[in-house]
Amino acid sequence: MKYLIIIIGPTAIGKTALSIQLAHAFDCEIISCDSRQFFKEMTIGTAVPDAEELAAAQHHFIHNKSIFEEYTVGDFEKEALAKLDELFQRRDFVIMVGGSGLYVDAVLKGFDEFPEIDASVREKITSEYEAKGIGYLQSQVEKLDPVYFSQVDTQNPQRLMRALEVCLGTGKPYSSFRKQKTNKRGFTPVVIGLDAPRDIIYDRINKRVDVMVSEGLVEEARNLHPHKNLNALQTVGYRELFDYFEGKISLDFAIEEIKKNTRRFAKRQLTWFRRNELATWFDAGKHEEIVNFIKKKAI
């Protein structure tokens, strides 16, 4: 039997530390399932495992892409399944860790099949967005697909435009095309959810942002600012600093916005992951309890 141990939970909860401990306990390798850590130009703002952590266990899908490449959840599904096939030839366990719920679902169940949409629909949406701003996208998606609107990062224009494109191009909600099928996989998933009291999660997030700033987040974002329209950079920690560079807000305000938006992101992550019926949830600090649970379940 082959087991994929999947660690889910909100940002800053301690998934990386647990994944390394489990890699040692079960003598296996780690697949990153964090859609921001794929990109080699983004290090500090994506909380990539540090050199010591990367050396402690073999990691895959970290800094393996460039922000200048188009990389979709469908691409990740194919590459991750191929890597799993390879790793399972050598080991009975593999660990997958990350906070990107859609990417976790793609590996577990398969990526949804969406219909082809006429390019003119996307062109019209892009034109409206450039003229009216993100508020236009938000209001349209909320009206046409309130289910997806309650789940999506409402500050990510690329995700909103994609949803709106499907809504307008098919006359059906974007969410109606998702989770239509479940593909059989050659492994048994063991899904571990990490949680903690909300005030502890928020405190960890605030402290992590302060550390990122001290380690050079502002400089990293400044180097990426010329490419701010790339899809990979439509994310918390960079958007706020882009506004600072453009004189729209102060640096102190940008940092507070990063903290606030990261807290909101963590809340959305938990909402998404809570729907995973396979997950068993643990307090984030109960590492030994988690190891024992997996041993009883899989050995």
Which residue ranges are tagged as binding site for ATP? 9-16
List the strands of the sheet with 93-97, edge to edge: 59-60, 30-32, 93-97, 3-8, 188-195, 279-283
Q: What sections of the chain are H helices per DSSP? A: 15-25, 51-56, 73-88, 101-109, 119-132, 134-144, 146-149, 157-170, 198-214, 217-224, 239-245, 251-274, 287-298
Residue ranges for the known binding site are 9-16
- Tokens matching residue 64: 């393996």
Element (H, E) at 189: strand 188-195
Measure Cα distances from 15 to 29, 70, 163, 170, 291 in Å: 15, 27, 30, 39, 14
Tell the residue number behind the tokens 């994310």, with chain if given. Answer: 235
Single out the residue of 99, 257, 88 nearest to residue 186, CA to CA. Answer: 88
How distant is the alpha carbon of residue 132 from its chain centre?
A: 28
Pairing of the two strands 188-195 and 93-97: unpaired
Tell the residue number behind the tokens 């899908």, with chain if given. Answer: 61
Single out the residue of 183, 182, 184, 164 nearest to residue 174, CA to CA. Answer: 164
Tell the residue number behind the tokens 């952590």, with chain if given. Answer: 53
Single out the residue of 268, 159, 190 nearest to residue 19, CA to CA. Answer: 190
Measure Cα distances from 240 to 83, 253, 261 in Å: 35, 9, 9
Residue ranges for the known binding site for substrate are 11-16
- Tokens matching residue 40: 């080699």
